[in-house]
Amino acid sequence: MAESRPLIVLGGPVHPDAAKLMETAARVVVTSDETEAGVAKIAAEADGLLIRGKPAATASLMTACKKLRVVGRHGVGLDTVDIPAATRLGIAIVHAPGSNSQAVAEHALMLMLTCAKRTLEIDEMTKKGDWSARTNVHNVELGGRTLGIVGVGNVGRRVAKFCAALGMRVLGYDPYVPDAELRQRGVEPQPSLEAMLPQCDFVTFHTPLTPETRGMLGGTNVKLMKKGAIVVNTSRGGVQVEPDLFEALTKGHLAAAGLDVWEQEPTSLDNPMFNLPNVVCSAHVAGVTTDAHRVAGVQVAEEMLRVLRGERPHVLVNPDVWPRLGVR
């Protein structure tokens, strides 16, 4: 007798709690193949596909999976999912909004503090017996300085709370949130990015990657930043223009940068940013904690299983698909 339970293909490992949850109602196959062709072959008969990193959920991949009813995105960002194509193909898209907000906010604060206190540089000096940082002082305090938050959503509002507690003045720019709500989220609303940037000692980016935000951290915007400012990006690599940042950091316009995301990921080992002592780097791990890993996995697993049971998920990215789910 043929197996009647739906098939879910996971594009990488998930938290054991999420895997167990899916296995109660579905057959689960995990693949480490990051090529579209490889995943398309494995998921040709799949009812559900969970996207982790690569490959992206492109129109061609989803078209190749003829039985596909739901695509889950492990985490928050949807820039690797072709949502119009999914809607056209009758495939529901679900994800786990808010699942890693605390983790990313903490990481952004860590990058700000690490840059401001020159933590990595002083650590290296101290281990070599060099205590000159006590007299050659360049560290700064966050208290009393001005922070600009670009994107005041689930992450941005948490950063605002953290930094207000440290005594910072917190400004916020988010054209999709009314001023009254921005004030509720703990920031002083700003009419434009151009108006906010010259005021800020620190700037942190918490935006999705869209045509509007691509390259936002580059060009004229970098030049508008206050001389000596510190910039942090834990959003998406496409938001920044690395040659522009490199120039600003090497010429002294920006004091430091904390970067968790990169224009190309993984970024090349010869990325010139790696040669700068005033750049703190991490490998797109801001949202990767044991806590967030479990929450994201369980949340997206629950949503995918709802779709496969014929129930409307709580977070449906493309609601127009619901009346004709599974109709190709």
Residue 44 vs residues 37, 61, 310: alpha-carbon distances, Å: 10, 9, 21
Q: Determine the Cα–Cα distance for residues 215 and 169; give it in Å rounded to an integer.
A: 26
Q: Determine the Cα–Cα distance for residues 233 and 216; give it in Å rounded to an integer.
A: 11
Residues identified as active-site: 236, 265, 284
Residue at 42: amino acid letter: I
Three-class secondary structure of residue 238 per DSSP: helix
Both tokens of 293, joined, read 């890993």
Question: Is residue 163 within 8 Å of residue 142, measured between CB atoms?
Answer: yes
Residue at 278: amino acid letter: N
Cross-sheet strand order for the sheet of 7-10: 27-30, 7-10, 48-51, 70-73, 92-94
Pairing of strands 169-173, 229-233: unpaired
Please report how many Cα atoms fall inside a 13 Å half-sphere around the Cα of residue 15, on the Cβ side. 19
Question: Is residue 77 within 8 Å of residue 300, measured between CB atoms?
Answer: no
